[in-house]
Amino acid sequence: MAGGIVIRRAHFPGRAPIDAYGNGGFRFAEMSHRGSILCLPSGVHGWEPENPAALAVDDFARVLAESADIEILLVGCGRDLRPLPAALKAALRDARISADPMSTGAAVRTYNVLLAEDRAVAAALVAID
């Protein structure tokens, strides 16, 4: 009868402010998630970019799929600001998404403010220790 532990892809079906970040994860909606996350109109999703220090277009496939509902994408790059690669900036621009890279802490704070204003905002947040 017992099938053991079932591992599911992390997903919270709704928009929620981020309550805390650090220690390798995030807290939101009375839940916690270990690792990086995407905060999208469809919900909060676990996110595993191939190389968080060098983000690529493929890492943003889910963002691009929801581009019709996103005007602003905040990219929390970790502890420090890193410029987005040219190919990624071009793909987001072609999808009519304004992307702003910043530290993860700044991205969380800005995301919460824009979410409270009911703006068409999304965030890609790299977890920090």
Q: What is the domain partition of the chain in residue ranges?
A: 11-125
Three-class DSSP category at 64:
helix
12 pLDDT band, cuts 50/70/90, is confident
Q: Which residues pair with 20 in a beta bridge?
A: 27
- Domain 11-125: assigned CATH number: 3.40.1230.10
| Cβ 22 vs Cβ 129: under 8 Å | yes
**pTM for this one?**
0.90
Strand runs (DSSP E) across 8-125, as ranges? 11-12, 18-22, 25-28, 31-34, 36-40, 43-47, 72-76, 98-102, 121-125
Q: Is the pLDDT of residue 47 over 90?
A: yes
Tokens 């600001």 locate to 81
pLDDT, tens digit (0-9, with 9 covering 90-100), for 48-102: 999 998 999 999 999 999 999 999 999 999 999 999 999 999 999 999 999 999 9
